[in-house]
């Protein structure tokens, strides 16, 4: 199997060390859009991964969920549900020149070197290795991946990395969502948007208004280039919140100021990809408290970014 790698690993920052340059600001908006596909088109990926994905973004992205349901992670005394912080994924899209995979794998500290070796052996680039939580037991890391090539070959590379972990195939969703012990209507009002119940977590996914391209390829929201805010109920109207806010460089300080004004901790600021335009940074956050004031603070922080309008 040969996978064509188009990107070189780079650290965080305003400049990239990619071996191929991304589109300039003047070129932005002229990149290739992903093709519409059907579930049948992704049968080679399903077979190679041993996992079934779901089509999104009008059938252009095939996304396979890779949650860490096997781990019992505790952060600052809070048992973390997989849907709050531990939801890895691999997303595939077909373009005129090849298939692109992007994803985020949740791995333990012991698994990380083996995962890195497996990815490197199969030509899958790691574009970030970082944390989503300030402190956790056992120690967990998140690694973003990216490559272009034959879809079955890409899936084989991802499968090799998964085989170096204890990540289990995703279970079928429950017939009925568990109740959310939060005032979700008040949270919606405070955030100015409508959330979604998912496995006991109340979630918001918010896309940016500006088109995002990576090396001339338009990245739909399902590729993970969105702001995510997750609420895990803790009883009595309290919640743990975790997620990330996607920002351009000139938005970062205003977002941090807004979060800290409401007592929300900043976990990390870093990149997920290498040559995207506009250049994007992701801020991971954490806090525990009354869910409605937390939602109000999150609205202020998100409003400092160029996201799609809320209600």
- Crossing angle of helices 291-302 and 184-191, rounded to 10°: 20
The verdict on residue 11 lying in a domain is: no
> Per-residue pLDDT tens for 278-300?
999 999 999 999 999 999 999 99
The verdict on residue 5 lying in a domain is: no
Which of 172, 200, 228 represents a domain boundary (last residue)? 172
The verdict on residue 7 lying in a domain is: no
Q: Does 162 share its domain with 184?
A: no
Q: Does 179 share its domain with 163?
A: no
Q: Does 186 share its domain with 225?
A: yes
Question: CA distances (Å), 219 to each of 29, 81, 159, 276, in order?
Answer: 11, 28, 23, 9
- Residue 26 reports pLDDT greater than 50: no
Give me the count of residues in the chain.
311
Burial 207-240 (b: 16+ CB within 10 A, else e): bbeeebbbbbbbbbbbbbbbbbbbbbbbeeebbb
Q: Does 189 share its domain with 164?
A: no
Q: Does 154 share its domain with 268?
A: no
Q: Does 79 share its domain with 197?
A: no
- CATH number of the domain enclosing 186: 3.30.70
Do β-strands 213-214 and 276-277 pair in parallel, antiparallel, or remain unpaired?
antiparallel
Q: How many CB atoms lie within 10 A of CB 179?
A: 9
DSSP state of 76: T
- Residue 109 reports pLDDT greater than 60: yes
The verdict on residue 253 lying in a domain is: yes
> Per-residue pLDDT tens for 114-153?
999 999 999 999 999 999 999 999 999 999 999 999 999 9
The verdict on residue 33 lying in a domain is: no
Q: Does 152 share its domain with 226?
A: no
Domain that holds residue 197: 175-311
The verdict on residue 194 lying in a domain is: yes
Q: Does 139 share its domain with 53?
A: yes
29 pLDDT band, cuts 50/70/90, is: low
Residue 206: predicted pLDDT: 97
Q: Does 183 share its domain with 311?
A: yes
Report the candidate in 278, 270, 282, 187 with the shortest Cα–Cα distance to residue 230.
187
Q: Does 295 share its domain with 234?
A: yes
What is the Cα–Cα distance from 200 to 168, expressed in whole angstroms? 19
> Per-residue pLDDT tens for 225-237?
999 999 999 999 9
Which of 119, 147, 172 represents a domain boundary (last residue)? 172
Domain count, the chain: 2
Give me 20's structure tokens: 């191929």
DSSP state of 79: E
Q: Does 189 share its domain with 80?
A: no
The verdict on residue 257 lying in a domain is: yes
Which of 172, 204, 226 represents a domain boundary (last residue)? 172
> Per-residue pLDDT tens for 236-273?
999 999 999 999 999 999 999 999 999 999 999 999 99
Residue 174: predicted pLDDT: 74
- Residue 1 reports pLDDT greater than 60: no
The verdict on residue 161 lying in a domain is: yes
Q: Does 64 share its domain with 167?
A: yes
């Amino acid at each position: 199997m040969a996978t064509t790698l188009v990107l070189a690993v780079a650290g965080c920052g305003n400049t990239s060390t990619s071996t191929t340059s991304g589109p300039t600001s003047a070129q932005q908006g002229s990149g290739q859009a992903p093709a519409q596909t059907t579930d049948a088109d992704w049968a080679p990926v399903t077979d190679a991964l041993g996992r079934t994905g779901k089509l999104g973004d009008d059938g252009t992205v095939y996304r396979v969920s890779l949650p860490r349901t096997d781990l019992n992670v505790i952060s600052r005394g809070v048992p973390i549900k997989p849907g709050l912080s531990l939801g890895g994924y691999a997303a595939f899209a077909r373009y005129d020149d090849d298939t692109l995979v992007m994803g985020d794998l949740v791995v333990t500290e012991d698994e990380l070197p083996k995962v890195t070796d497996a990815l490197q052996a199969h030509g899958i680039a790691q574009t970030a290795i970082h944390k989503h939580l300030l402190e956790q037991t056992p120690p967990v890391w998140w690694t973003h991946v990216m490559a272009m090539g034959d879809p079955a070959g890409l899936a084989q590379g991802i499968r090799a990395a998964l085989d170096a972990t204890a990540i289990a195939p995703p279970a079928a969703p429950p017939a009925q969502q568990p109740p959310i012990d939060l005032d979700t209507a008040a949270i919606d009002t405070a955030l100015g948007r409508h959330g979604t119940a998912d496995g006991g977590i109340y979630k918001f996914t918010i896309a940016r208004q500006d088109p995002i391209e990576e090396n001339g390829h338009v990245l739909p929201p399902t590729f993970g280039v969105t702001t995510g805010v997750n609420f895990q109920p803790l009883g009595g109207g309290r919640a743990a919140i975790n997620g990330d806010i996607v920002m351009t460089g000139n938005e970062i300080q205003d977002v941090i100021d807004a979060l800290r004004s409401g007592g929300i901790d900043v976990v990390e600021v870093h990149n997920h990809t290498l040559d995207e335009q506009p250049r994007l940074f992701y801020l991971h956050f954490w806090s525990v408290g009354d869910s409605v004031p937390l939602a109000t603070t999150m609205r202020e922080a998100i409003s400092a970014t160029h996201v799609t309008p809320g209600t």
